[in-house]
Structure 1
Amino acid sequence: MSDTASTLFTPFTLGKLTLPNRIVIAPMCQYSADGDGNASDWHLIHLGSLALSGAGMLILEATAVSPEGRITPDCLGLWSDANAAALGRVLDGVRRHSAMPLAIQLAHAGRKASSAVPWAGGQLLSADEGGWTCVAPSALPYSATEPAPTALDADGLARIRDAFAAAARRAARIGLDCIELHGAHGYLLHEFLSPLSNIRDDAYGGSLENRMRFPLEVFDAVRAAFPAGRPVGMRISATDWVDGGWDLAQSVALAQALKARGCDFIHVSTGGLSPLQQFAVAPGFQVPFAAHIRRETGLPTVAVGLVTEAEQAEEIVANGQADLVGVARAMMYEPHWPWHAAARLGAQVNAPRQYWRSAPRNAGNLFAGARIGMR
């Protein structure tokens, strides 16, 4: 155990929400809703497990704001009061045993909607297979083998913008602490940003200002619909990894525009828009993008990208590359990842009383407030 105080396990404030440490559980799609977008028992088990991990905040998976905005027919939704009631029941169960701040990622999949679940191949579904017609900024398919989506008209844009706002109001009603807009990984808001997927000739296409217009309108609508003081941020892909596509310089411009509108944080990922993307995957490969945006804008950032080790996460926040570290797949593999990180860094972490006796003898005073008595 280290004798040096850990930065990873210091508090951080977003809006009026204070996180107990800098570890964020990043959104991870589960494809386990009931078919109408309603949360299921799986979500109670999955989220309940993660909420006992001692992380600073848990962000729920990409949650569709309309039925056609789902990635798959089994994706979570928040487009109806029935969706809100089902998710609210899950969150009530989680909160009974955890005080961890809970956020939600609101999303629309755009031209990457209507897909099979990953374990069934992930391909675009036809209407006969339970799929639907996708919508997008322009009638450009994700790949040459797929049918073109329908280009959104003014009414379609207004309908989706209003759906994001309505979902934000439902999120507030069921007590979610924070909203993250999904503007990454080739989904609808990212599709508007990138010149590879947006070739519109109206006010929502062409120049960088025009391509940013709809994502910023959505942000404004959500920010107005969600209570003041509860943070709203955005997940972005900082680059398409394709020549002529969305890139880091444009991401800085977007982050600056978001900051001016009261955005509380930016969650920095990359890629997902085009099958032509080319990049090498390595530990922390996306962290430099978060560091650059943080340095250029001063906007609080969440860094992700094969962050799997406690010392790696500590270095990211201690060196000022990001304010928060997002852990996703590593957290699913080891739901007590923050416990192990705290033990290795000589820090303390919150854990349920029922688990206090589980700390190894060499972990010191690992669990905050732990008091153990036995007869």
Structure 2
Amino acid sequence: MATNPPIMRAVVQDGYGPPAVVLRVAEIRRPSPGADEVLIRVWATSVNTPDWATVAGVPHVLRLSFGLRRPKHPVRGSDVAGIVEAAGREVTDLRPGDEVFGSLWGGSGARAGTFAQYTAAPAAQLVKKPAAVTFEEAAASVMTGLTALTAMRDVAGVGPGARVLINGASGGVGTMAVQIAKSLGADVTGVCGTGNVELVRSLGADQVIDYTEQDFTQSQHRFDVILDNVLNHPPRITARLLTPNGLLIPNSLGNTGGLLAGLPRTARAALMGRFTSTRVKLVTTTVNRDNLTALRSLLESGQVKAVIDKTYPLDQAANAVAHMLTHHARGKVVITGTTSA
């Protein structure tokens, strides 16, 4: 006798445009974990740049890979924190009841998405959640934390005494990068708006530049590393602040809108690194057990904490994405796996 497949509530995307127009809550089939995956009951997820970029469909050129009229995968979200419900036959180190966090980003197979009550995720891209860290904090830390960790530790090789400038220090990656750079012994300068100066200072920044009062590119100081999460200045101007062997790390799509949005500045930065003496490197974030374990250690030790601007229930996911699209969120915007009904 045939049985109905299990269903769940999820936020699905029907096209590109304003979140309130293209995102809706629907009942869809609950995913089944593959052999190397686990089924997770989602307690929390967060909104990352690929999520709002895919919802808005910008830069337009990325629709060639997203899907021309609508995204190929209708459920957004990659970060996840939740409880294992079931494990695939090849998974030996996670079992039902385990509290985990991690990401679907870059995993093989069709992306299940995390703006949903349940998701299927590769076991190799999950680790057990620290008991003292909430599901919301864990979900808010994943991609931004791994990106900041990769940028500071691996790409830049930041060590004691390094002078690091972080443009966009109050955003998701920025708040993590300030803390991680400090944990590595760097002298950190953060750039942010007036309302976030105290926040960035509280995260450990040694100096904070309020961009409403001072153009940081006019600073007389020189830096060994510049992590630019905003790209609101031409890369060649920003690069003038580097020491002779300094490194520029561009890490932004820029403002939304247009065929290419902020991609030209990223491309110009990359070309500058290729054809001039200026050192430029991009960040490629890899989700694996080693990186997640390093992030977990930072969270457990208290050296790093997730900054959460606002938390929304699942049925208000469109509002969460819209909030991120203002580009003024302090840290991360979190979505819980519950509804407000």
The TM-score, its normalising length taken from structure 1, stands at: 0.25
